[in-house]
A and B are shown apart, each in its own frame.
Chain A
Amino acid sequence: MTMADVIVIGGGPAGLSAATTAAAHGARVILVDEQAIPGGQLSKQIHKFFGSREHLAGTRGFAIGRRLLEDALAAGVDVRLGRAAYAAYPGTGGEFEVAVYGGDAATGGSRAARLRGRRLIVATGASENPLAFPGWTLPGVMGAGAVQTLVNVHRVRPGRRALMVGSGNVGLIVTYQLLQAGVDVAALVEAMPRIGGYLVHAGKVRRAGVPILLGQTVLEASGDGRVERAVVARLDERGQAVLGSERSFDVDTICLAVGLSPWLELLLILGVRTAYIPALGGHVPLHDRDLQTSVPGLYVAGDVAGVEEASVALEEGRLAGMAAAESLGRGDRVALARAKLEVAARLDGLRGGPFGAARREAKARQVNELSGAPPLSPAAAAGPESVPASRADGRAGIPGRPRPVAVIECYQQIPCNPCETACPRGAITIGSPITNLPKLDVDACTGCGLCLTACPGQAIFLVDRSGETATVTFPYEYLPAPEVGRRVTAVDAEGRPVGEAAVTSARMTRKTNRTWAVTVTVPHAYAGVVRGMLRPRR
Chain B
Amino acid sequence: MGPEGSKPKTVICRCEDVTVEEIRKLIEKGYQTPDEIKRLSRCGMGQCQGRTCRNLVLQEIGAATGREGKDIPMSTFRPPTKPVKLGLYARARAEHEGGDDR
Residues of A whose CB lies within 8 Å of any CB of B are: 34, 84-89, 99, 101, 108, 110, 112, 114, 127, 129-130, 132-137, 219-220, 222, 231, 246, 261, 264-266, 268-269, 274-276, 278, 282-283
Q: How far is the CB of B67 from chain A (nearest CB, A)?
A: 11
Whether the Cβ atoms of A135 and B8 lie closer than 8 Å is yes
Q: How far is the CB of A424 from chain B (nearest CB, A)?
A: 48
Interface assignment of B82: CB less than 8 Å from any CB of chain A: yes
Interface assignment of B98: CB less than 8 Å from any CB of chain A: no
Whether the Cβ atoms of B92 and A112 lie closer than 8 Å is yes
Whether the Cβ atoms of B79 and A87 lie closer than 8 Å is yes
Residues of A within 8 A of B87 (CB): 110
List 26 contacting pairs A-B, 8 Å CB cutoff, sorted by A.
A87-B79, A88-B79, A89-B102, A99-B79, A99-B80, A99-B92, A110-B84, A110-B85, A127-B51, A129-B55, A130-B52, A132-B11, A132-B12, A134-B7, A134-B8, A134-B9, A134-B10, A135-B8, A219-B1, A220-B1, A220-B8, A222-B2, A269-B78, A275-B70, A276-B69, A282-B55
**Which partner residue on chain A sits nearest B12 by CB separation?**
A132
Residues of B whose CB lies within 8 Å of any CB of A are: 1-2, 7-12, 14, 20, 49, 51-53, 55-56, 68-70, 74, 76-82, 84-85, 87-88, 91-92, 95-96, 102
Residues of B within 8 A of A114 (CB): 92, 96
Q: How far is the CB of B93 from chain A (nearest CB, A)?
A: 10
A101 to B7 Cα, complex, angstroms:
43
Whether the Cβ atoms of A130 and B79 lie closer than 8 Å is no
A275 to B80 Cα, complex, angstroms:
23
Whether the Cβ atoms of B11 and A112 lie closer than 8 Å is no
Residues of A within 8 A of B11 (CB): 132, 137
Whether the Cβ atoms of A132 and B10 lie closer than 8 Å is yes
Residues of B within 8 A of A110 (CB): 84-85, 87-88, 91
- Known contacts being A112-B92, A133-B10, A276-B69, is A283 close to B74, with CB within 8 Å? yes
Q: How far is the CB of A531 from chain B (nearest CB, A)?
A: 38
A88 to B102 Cα, complex, angstroms:
11
A136 to B1 Cα, complex, angstroms:
13
Candidate in B56, B76, B79, B96 with the most chain A CB atoms within 10 angstroms: B79
Residues of A within 8 A of B85 (CB): 108, 110
Dominant secondary structure of chain B at its interface with chain A: loop
Q: How far is the CB of B79 from chain A (nearest CB, A)?
A: 3
Whether the Cβ atoms of A86 and B69 lie closer than 8 Å is no
Q: How far is the CB of A355 from chain B (nearest CB, A)?
A: 22
**Which partner residue on chain A sits nearest B11 by CB separation?**
A137
A402 to B64 Cα, complex, angstroms:
67
- Known contacts being A101-B88, A222-B2, is A268 close to B77, with CB within 8 Å? yes
Residues of B within 8 A of A88 (CB): 79
A127 to B77 Cα, complex, angstroms:
16
Whether the Cβ atoms of A266 and B81 lie closer than 8 Å is yes
Residues of B within 8 A of A127 (CB): 51
Residues of B within 8 A of A261 (CB): 55
Whether the Cβ atoms of B91 and A112 lie closer than 8 Å is yes
**Which partner residue on chain A sits nearest B58 by CB separation?**
A282
A89 to B8 Cα, complex, angstroms:
44
Residues of B within 8 A of A108 (CB): 85
A433 to B12 Cα, complex, angstroms:
44
A136 to B12 Cα, complex, angstroms:
9
Q: How far is the CB of A436 from chain B (nearest CB, A)?
A: 34
A133 to B20 Cα, complex, angstroms:
9
Residues of B within 8 A of A282 (CB): 55, 69
Whether the Cβ atoms of A130 and B84 lie closer than 8 Å is no
Whether the Cβ atoms of A130 and B1 lie closer than 8 Å is no
Q: How far is the CB of A268 from chain B (nearest CB, A)?
A: 4
Whether the Cβ atoms of A132 and B69 lie closer than 8 Å is no
Residues of B within 8 A of A87 (CB): 79-81
Residues of A within 8 A of B91 (CB): 110, 112
A246 to B1 Cα, complex, angstroms:
8
Residues of B within 8 A of A266 (CB): 81
Q: How far is the CB of A42 from chain B (nearest CB, A)?
A: 21
Whether the Cβ atoms of A265 and B1 lie closer than 8 Å is no
Whether the Cβ atoms of A86 and B80 lie closer than 8 Å is yes
- Known contacts being A134-B10, A261-B55, A282-B69, is A34 close to B78, with CB within 8 Å? no
Q: How far is the CB of B14 from chain A (nearest CB, A)?
A: 6
- Known contacts being A130-B52, A137-B11, is A269 close to B77, with CB within 8 Å? yes
Residues of A within 8 A of B68 (CB): 276
- Known contacts being A108-B85, A137-B11, is A132 close to B77, with CB within 8 Å? no
A507 to B74 Cα, complex, angstroms:
54
Q: How far is the CB of A178 from chain B (nearest CB, A)?
A: 22
Whether the Cβ atoms of B79 and A86 lie closer than 8 Å is yes
Residues of A within 8 A of B102 (CB): 89
Whether the Cβ atoms of A132 and B82 lie closer than 8 Å is no
Choice from B2, B7, B81 contacting A86 with Cβ under 8 Å: B81
**Which partner residue on chain B sits nearest A258 by CB separation?**
B55
Residues of B within 8 A of A135 (CB): 8
A282 to B55 Cα, complex, angstroms:
10
A89 to B51 Cα, complex, angstroms:
21
Q: How far is the CB of A296 from chain B (nearest CB, A)?
A: 20
Choice from B2, B55, B96 contacting A220 with Cβ under 8 Å: B2
- Known contacts being A84-B82, A127-B51, is A112 close to B88, with CB within 8 Å? yes
Whether the Cβ atoms of B82 and A268 lie closer than 8 Å is no
Q: How far is the CB of A515 from chain B (nearest CB, A)?
A: 36
**Which partner residue on chain A sits nearest B75 by CB separation?**
A268
Q: How far is the CB of B32 from chain A (nearest CB, A)?
A: 16
Whether the Cβ atoms of A34 and B81 lie closer than 8 Å is no
Residues of A within 8 A of B53 (CB): 130
Residues of A within 8 A of B81 (CB): 85-87, 265-266, 269
A135 to B10 Cα, complex, angstroms:
7
A276 to B1 Cα, complex, angstroms:
33
